[in-house]
Amino acid sequence: MTVGVLGSGTVGQDVLNLIERRKPIFEDVGVKIEIAGVMVRDVNKKRNVPAGTRVTTDCDFLQECGVVIETIGGVDRPLDILRPYLRSDRPVITANKAMLAERWDELREYALDGKLYYEASVMAGTPVIGPMSTVLRASTFNKLQAVLNGTCNYILTQMEGGQDYAAALAGAQALGYAEDPPTLDVGGFDTAHKLAVLARFCADGNFPYSAVQVTGIENVTLADVQDASRNGEKIKLVAELERAGTGWKATVAPQRLPADHPLCTAGATRNALVYEGDECGTLIFAGGGAGGMITASAMVGDLLDYLLGFPGHVPLH
């Protein structure tokens, strides 16, 4: 199987290294993986990738690929590169929630055809899209509440310890959690992208990103965080999706929650999601939601699913 990789940054490098490390699992299913090429902006940058990897600024190699893994990020930038490849009806694995949220008109048909794999786009290596696109559909969905952004979670947790906002943001960037630009994180837009992606599995297969009401954490002060702590609460950037009349209400905003709430107890750098359905009851998902290797784990998992013949993540029809 010839695999093409777009991007070799925090996530792309770990995807390449994990494919190399887990070669035996591919051999177990009878597949020899060959990396056709890795597209980047700057070929002279030092990279931690397996020896002999072909790194290039040219995307011609895509035409020889059986599957492409996209880790460039951005909305139109990756789609412009992918468009000719997508026309040939071959699969794409991506962690790019911005592209999924904002270019759904163009991508939805591929997703309905089972050609798009995107477990890593929400909560990175903590599987939520898998269950929401399969077994949870038997249950009547009512509501979800989630912490979906590692950068904001890290910043707010550091502020609980007294660190100021700017220093905490720099820390999240150094850990490889933040988007480029980080306004996507702190402005709440990354969380809104992820909420739109999730809504298409449980509420409306065409849920528009523009329907999410967004407030970020930029105006949360050290005094706000510490006042919450004194009262046994924590401030979290919370994504919510619930029924409103005959439709759905989707919001992203900072909220004060009791410190023993499942969205708080998940941990400082972890994401969490509380899912409520009539028949399945209340489910809690928690785990790492940002970082190179944890994201790579879901993307390489998607690659394995594809090789085993499982379709990609199909939204509600």
| Residues that bind ligand NAP in the complex, under the rule CB under 6 A | 7-12, 39-42, 45, 71-73, 77, 95-96, 120, 124, 176-177, 179-180, 290-291, 295
Burial class (CB in 10 A: 0-12, 13-18, 19+), 217: buried
Contact characters 256-295, ligand HSE, x per CB under 6 A: ---------------------------------xx-----
Q: Does 185 bind ligand HSE (CB under 6 A)?
A: yes
Name 164's Cβ contacts closer than 8 Å, sequence gap at least 6. 222
Q: Which is nearer to ligand NAP, 222 or 268 (CB)?
A: 268
DSSP string, 158-225: HHHTT--HHHHHHHHHHTT-S-SSTHHHHTSHHHHHHHHHHHHHHT-TT--GGGEEE--STT--HHHH
Which residue, 179 or 240, is less far from ligand NAP as judged by CB?
179
- Rule CB under 6 A: which of 86-125 touch ligand HSE? 124
Is residue 194 flagged as an active site residue?
yes
Report 220-239 residues binding ligand HSE (CB under 6 A).
none
Q: 77 or 137, CB closer to ligand NAP?
A: 77
17 lines the binding site for ligand HSE (CB under 6 A): no
Residue 193 to residue 94: CA distance in whole angstroms? 14
Interacting partner of 185 out of ligand NAP, ligand HSE, none (Cβ under 5 to 8 A depending on kind): ligand HSE
CB 134 within 8 A of CB 310: no
Least separation in angstroms between CB 176 and ligand HSE? 9
Rule CB under 6 A: say whether 297 interacts with ligand HSE.
no
CA distance 93 to 105: 18
The residue from 23, 45, 115, 194 that is catalytic is 194
DSSP class per residue in 42-78 = -TTS-----TT--EES--GGGGG-SEEEE---SSHHH
Active-site residue list: 194
